[in-house]
Amino acid sequence: MIYILTNVCRLLLAAVFVLSGYVKAIDPLGTQYKIDDYLTAVGLSGYVSEWMTLFTAIVLAATEFALGIYMLFAIQRRLVSKLLMVLMSVMTLITLWVYFFNPVKDCGCFGDAIHLTNGQTLAKNIVLLLAAVVVVKWPLHMVRFVSKSNQWIVTNYTLLFIIVSSAWCLYTLPLFDFRPYHVGADLRKGMEIPPGAKQPQFETTFVLSKNGETREFTLENYPDSTWTFVDSKTVQTEEGYVPPIHDFSIEDPNNGDNITTEVLNRKGYTFLLISPFLEHADDTNFGAIDQIYEYAKRHNVPMMCLTASGDAAISRWQDLTGAEYPFYITDGTTLKTMIRSNPGLMLIKDGVVINKWSHNALPQLKRLDAPLEKQSIGQIDPASVTARITKVVLWFVLPLFLLTLADRLWTWTKWIKKQRRRNKLYTLLKIKRRKMRKKIVAGNWKMNLNLQEGLALAKEVNDALAADKPNCDVIICTPFIHLASVAGVLDSQLVGLGAENCADKEQGAYTGEVSAEMVKSTGAQYVILGHSERREYYNETPEILKEKVLLALKNGLKVIFCIGETLAEREANKQNEVVKAELEGSVFNLSAEEFANVIVAYEPIWAIGTGKTATAEQAEEIHAFIRSVIAEKYGNEVAENTSILYGGSAKPSNAPELFAKPNIDGGLIGGAALKCADFKGIIDAWKK
């Protein structure tokens, strides 16, 4: 669940940051204007240079886009997650301020592509901040799309692509235009208000000067031509439906006439040279502009310059460039929205935007030797958007896709080869580990044999093994009364000694109980715990057995821990669930080092003392499952080094077949351990 949540949050952050960064990057001037709005809101607009705000706009866009791509590809997961967390924290604080104090109408998160209210922006940022918290907490849960060794390609190519994109769009025009003045837009329809919609009210104020006096006028009290135009601004005085184009107005500075309708309703082409402020306009290509004007005159195409500058700036421009085209006044913000170039050229026909050019990419004169109707620049290119999307795909999306595909194929191939080597190695190691893993035959005398009989049997087993060395470890587990005496007749190098039980208490008033410490003091090295008979007859619970195991290990005893299912559980196919639960309930609380002193004994309860025996295949299947459960808990190495014994009516006749299975490491023998010949026959199965 955490894995899915982390990757969902990662993809959400990546998508938002890639979109946000890209729309800012391809419109660096628009991003700069939004930064100017924020600086104005805090009273710092006059203290930061235009170059600094433009540089900040490009860096901000590149940072957002790059972080989004890095998050998508899970590059530098910890670092990128923390950077996104910091960025989202700052952005959320800013949008809190914007929401409560409303210094700007639109945060500009997605440039002109998507407009959000301040409330929507705050909600969006809170969601993204929570997503950032998730990826910061679990950064390594993010899946890599490209291997670590190839991530430098994505890192550098992303930065190169986005910076070049910003530079190109700054030099020419934004690759994608989301503003209401885009190519193909009908400016008249953009200004329409649907029938019945409440109409907002606007007021345009003109700042004029005369004889050293500066005053503001509206259209109602506009003065005579003896006044000199200084500035103009349009403000909304009453809320209502706001059409996409609501502030486009063309004023004649000579008489104050509004010629907007005349220009937009004119049949045929019109060139609009747009310069928000001529004081800051680039005059590098004024020659090309003048040539276009000459062409326009030859073909009776009107050309006018729209600007928010006053007479002084207009006169300066005319003197500098020799401009003969007329100048008209339009709101500066509107002009900045119309075209991201100062100056820029727009061609309209019947009120529809046909084409737009930056002053750096004006149409050449050789292409203007025929009427516009017969030239490509005089027609809207229906494939322009598709062509631009194709360019982005070919230059960025496709290379990264091919890199990802190649990297994944390479990684997959490498993984396959590694798996093959590992399987070969695993097979060799498995054989080797099986040889290294202790082979054990342990006898469980249960409540049989008096002291004299027990001593005799122990001595007989010891002598038999002394005469014919075993190929495995041998253990006999006796009742408590035998332990000290039997320890005296056994060669500990040949036969280990174990108890059949121990108490779950260290010491105290527990009449009839024998503690692990007492067992250890007799010379015993092992103890059987969890036997089905103890569970069934004496109600030993997993918690009781857990205490016994801990005390046995604490006192230096190795534990033979028994698990197994009843006949009903086997018939219900619940044997796997049962053995797993018994391990988890009593021994999986141990550390890997402690678990190394545990020998697992699987005893199918339905096969103990009944004469029934699980087939070798059944025994191998459950033994393999037990080893896999141990591997899940402690890892493959611990699992491979754990001896797992079979404890279900093993006899000399079936022991060789059982012991031949790779996951059966010996047996916990009941009735057959009470006769030396039978016990020795099972031990000798390891020699076959």
Task: Summarize pLDDT for 109-133 with one digit per residue, the tens.
Answer: 898 889 888 999 999 999 999 999 9
Q: Report helix, strand and coil shares of the chain as percent, to nearest 5.
A: 50, 15, 35
Q: Output the CA torsion sign for 598, 599, 603, 609.
A: negative
pLDDT of residue 426 exceeding 70: no
Phi, psi for 511 (deg, rounded to 5): -55, 130
* Domain limits, the chain: 2-171, 187-379, 381-436, 437-687
In this predicted structure, what is the pLDDT of residue 429? 47
Label residue 183 exposed, middle or buried (CB < 10 Å: 0-12, 13-18, 19+): middle
How high does pLDDT run on average in the chain?
Answer: 90
In this predicted structure, what is the pLDDT of residue 612? 66
Pick from 271, 252, 367, 382: nearest CA to 311: 252
What's the average model confidence in pLDDT over 15-19? 96
- Hunting for tokens 């990128």 — which residue is that? 80
* 291-318 pLDDT tens trace: 999 999 999 999 999 999 999 999 999 9
pLDDT of residue 428 exceeding 60: no
What's the average model confidence in pLDDT over 549-574? 93
User: What CATH code would you report for 187-379?
Assistant: 3.40.30.10
Q: Is 435 annotated as a binding residue?
A: no
Q: Is 444 annotated as a binding residue?
A: yes
Amino acid (1-letter code) at residue 65: F
Contacts of 71 (CB under 8 A, 6+ apart): 10, 13, 14, 17, 80, 81, 84, 135, 142
CA distance 155 to 143: 17
What's the average model confidence in pLDDT over 243-249? 89
* 65-76 pLDDT tens trace: 999 999 999 999
pLDDT of residue 436 exceeding 90: no
Can the peptide bond before residue 326 be classed as cis, meaning omega within 30 degrees of 0?
Answer: no
In this predicted structure, what is the pLDDT of residue 420? 58
pLDDT of residue 425 exceeding 90: no
Amino acid (1-letter code) at residue 681: G
- Hunting for tokens 């030859």 — which residue is that? 298
- Hunting for tokens 């073909």 — which residue is that? 299
Active site residues: 531, 603
CA distance 541 to 554: 20
Q: Is 415 annotated as a binding residue?
A: no
Pick from 271, 293, 274: nearest CA to 365: 293
In this predicted structure, what is the pLDDT of residue 52? 93
Q: What value, to the nearest 5°, has the Cα angle with vertex 231 and ends 228 and 237?
A: 125
Q: Is 649 annotated as a binding residue?
A: yes
In this predicted structure, what is the pLDDT of residue 370? 83
> Which one of 3.20.20.70, 1.10.3210.10, 3.40.50.300, 3.40.50.720 gives the CATH number of domain 437-687?
3.20.20.70
Q: Is 221 annotated as a binding residue?
A: no
In this predicted structure, what is the pLDDT of residue 648? 78
CA distance 261 to 246: 13
* 260-278 pLDDT tens trace: 999 999 999 999 999 999 9
Q: Is 49 annotated as a binding residue?
A: no
Contacts of 151 (CB under 8 A, 6+ apart): 73, 75, 76, 144
Q: Is 670 annotated as a binding residue?
A: yes
Is there a contact between 290 and 323 (Cβ–Cβ < 8 Å)?
Answer: yes
What's the average model confidence in pLDDT over 247-263? 91
Contacts of 551 (CB under 8 A, 6+ apart): 502, 503, 504, 505, 506, 515, 516
613: confidence class by pLDDT, cuts 50, 70, 90: low
In this predicted structure, what is the pLDDT of residue 258? 92
In this predicted structure, what is the pLDDT of residue 556? 96
Amino acid (1-letter code) at residue 398: L
In this predicted structure, what is the pLDDT of residue 415? 61
